[in-house]
Structure 1
């Protein structure tokens, strides 16, 4: 859709938001042995997660910090909304995505607005997006390298397709796409907070004008749907709608890129399991869930104590912030035997990568559809897929968010 709305670039166009990933999220090769040591010591530790992993500590105003690694305690914090709140996110993503983000809300406010998002992201609608949006994007990208016999599946595929899907969902003009992605990624550069706030402001202005335009001339794009959908007489207020649109690129695009990259890396590291999927595509859903469990894209979630509580034997004062290490529960041997092994045939148990409780990821159905379509396309178009012997093997890195930077492969004869 052509639009009169125009997006603004950073005041400093030389700023690279993509280069700040390691600074913000770490580049540790394998944080799980350290996490296992913590869990053996105690289910809850004093202090925040970041400095324990060698990263600069987050800055929160006069808040005690705790790190939660025990699975029972993780489940309690994520589901006990009487004692634990999502308001901790007001100090980071609330500052950039906006305080109208449902990620910073508690019930009843959270439930009131979430039901509108849930109506739009129902599985039957997401399935249609898979056919009409995801498939064309995936095949357009893959067509550029299928004839070459080799590729970097990160740079040429997984880093691109989830974001291209969002551009199509929002029906953004092609001329706005590059600047849009730079601003969207820059919103989470909390180590350069001035750049994150600049991105937030410019995206807010852009989306406000875009929503006004789509309300006057609605289409079947996601902006029009969000602006014009109501449940029980409620429409999304501007603050909530704009905050959601700001967050979409990161919550949907970035995590799906990371999850798909990990999935493909794990399958190539375990060629017997990849062969099993080739022989039986019904194994694709369990492979996706195992990848999300084994090395989910977001290792840590944040909550705040609403009152003085005792958790894991520690006294937690009201207002304290808790780094909830979902990756610790996903690698707990008491839940998942031999947890460090990627195994699509293991007994299926629910993982923590989409969170739990009322804030379980509203976009989880779309993420699964995108990962499913991507893997089908890989199996359909890249026969005899294998690591490129002339290139370095991929390394999944990160302490907060995990991904390999490259995945060099060969395919065909």
Structure 2
């Protein structure tokens, strides 16, 4: 590689974006009780999901914005599966500010044109090969710090760092930049309640990635940045603003959500030890355990859309220009589709899809990588931490959040 690039910390280096998690995403221990009550009252409710759940409104949206929140399974599927009527313009106002011209803000024909390029980097066969070259070395490094101790906090010592370290290796970032990079990446997500720090993080990551892309074009390697920097659309490099936006978003889309999903998976299994024991004895159960964790308490409870035309949804007239909060977490626990929906049950035989990775043309581009990371993490933990169990002398894990969910600690003993 070429010359050393420096990443710039916040102007106030003491700013800690992790402390704003509850402000941004809420701190409900169980939002599902209220969500279920609202779903029983009707599939649609007028209002923004954040404010319906008692959070601060999204300050990036227009002051006169009109909202509907969608709670019913069938209506959620209808919105996510009909991009011609319900577009992604809604994201221009929040993640668009942080990430820029991301594919998440685009609709057809722009969206499929650029998504095809990025999707090539995350095909199942490509991602599978990363398991040994990228994922396993990170697992070994992180677990070596606690596997001989007999106890650990699996969130603070493992899941919080695990997917981000994989991304650093994907991007071939210098290890010394990792701490600041992680702070900036997470801070981008607070823009809905803290525009100042969100935009500062976006600007500094953008400056870093612009220099990084130029350096990798001049001195390409076998990393993801080099691959995307040399990718072409219609005989030309990807537009810089689109490429930089993708790299900004990648860190959160592939890092933050996988950290949350892996933490929820471990919480579900450790609080249901008979299911953990079943997986310990039969690793073929891991894929269905992952899907159940994503359904049961998927990391992202709400997705956003925008009515591009007048529409009728669940018998309700939706005027063009309305913001639609699609409560995937409600659909994933809709009792008409999932019997006993609040139970974590890896032996469930679901007849319907979950929406943890969205649905339709904007389905998560990194879903295959997320499943590989969760599979290998659980396998490594079962192999390396015998007799794994919750620590009875410390608080049990609590999955918290209203918009995005995660336990902040999972105290365990083993050996």
Indicate whether 1:411 and 2:402 are aligned. Answer: no
Give deviations 1:67-122, integer Å, cap 9, x for gaps. Answer: 10011111111011221100100000000110x20000001110000001111111
Q: Distance in 2 between matches of 1:149 and 1:23?
A: 34
Q: CA deviation at 1:231?
A: 6.1
Aligned pairs for 1:1-400 within 5 A = 3-59=3-59, 60-61=61-62, 62-98=64-100, 100-190=101-191, 191-230=193-232, 233=235, 235-348=237-350, 349-400=352-403
Q: CA deviation at 1:229?
A: 2.5
Tell me the SS of whatever aligns to 1:157.
helix
Give deviations 1:213-252, integer Å, cap 9, x for gaps. Answer: 0000000111001111346646421111100110111111
Tell me the SS of whatever aligns to 2:194.
helix
Give deviations 1:319-366, integer Å, cap 9, x for gaps. Answer: 110110000110011111111111111113321000000000000000
Q: Distance in 1 between matches of 2:68 and 2:386?
A: 48
Unpaired runs of 5+ residues, structure 1, are none
Give deviations 1:130-168, integer Å, cap 9, x for gaps. Answer: 110100101110011011000000000000110100111
Q: Distance in 1 between matches of 2:234 and 2:240?
A: 18
TM-score normalized by the length of structure 1 = 0.98
Tell me the SS of whatever aligns to 1:187.
helix
Conservation of the 8 A alpha-carbon contact between 2:2 and 2:219 = no
TM-score normalized by the length of structure 2 = 0.97
Q: Distance in 1 between matches of 2:298 and 2:55?
A: 19
Q: Distance in 2 between matches of 1:342 and 1:197?
A: 38
Tell me the SS of whatever aligns to 1:22.
helix
Unpaired runs of 5+ residues, structure 2, are none
Count of aligned pairs: 411
Q: CA deviation at 1:193?
A: 0.6
Conservation of the 8 A alpha-carbon contact between 2:88 and 2:107 = yes
Q: Distance in 2 between matches of 1:141 and 1:171?
A: 18
Q: Distance in 1 between matches of 2:237 and 2:53?
A: 42
Q: CA deviation at 1:2?
A: 6.6
Conservation of the 8 A alpha-carbon contact between 2:66 and 2:322 = yes
Q: Distance in 1 between matches of 2:363 and 2:3?
A: 34
Conservation of the 8 A alpha-carbon contact between 1:10 and 1:198 = yes
Tell me the SS of whatever aligns to 1:352.
coil
Tell me the SS of whatever aligns to 1:211.
helix
Q: Distance in 2 between matches of 1:159 and 1:3?
A: 30
Conservation of the 8 A alpha-carbon contact between 1:29 and 1:398 = yes
Q: CA deviation at 1:314?
A: 2.1
Conservation of the 8 A alpha-carbon contact between 2:206 and 2:248 = yes
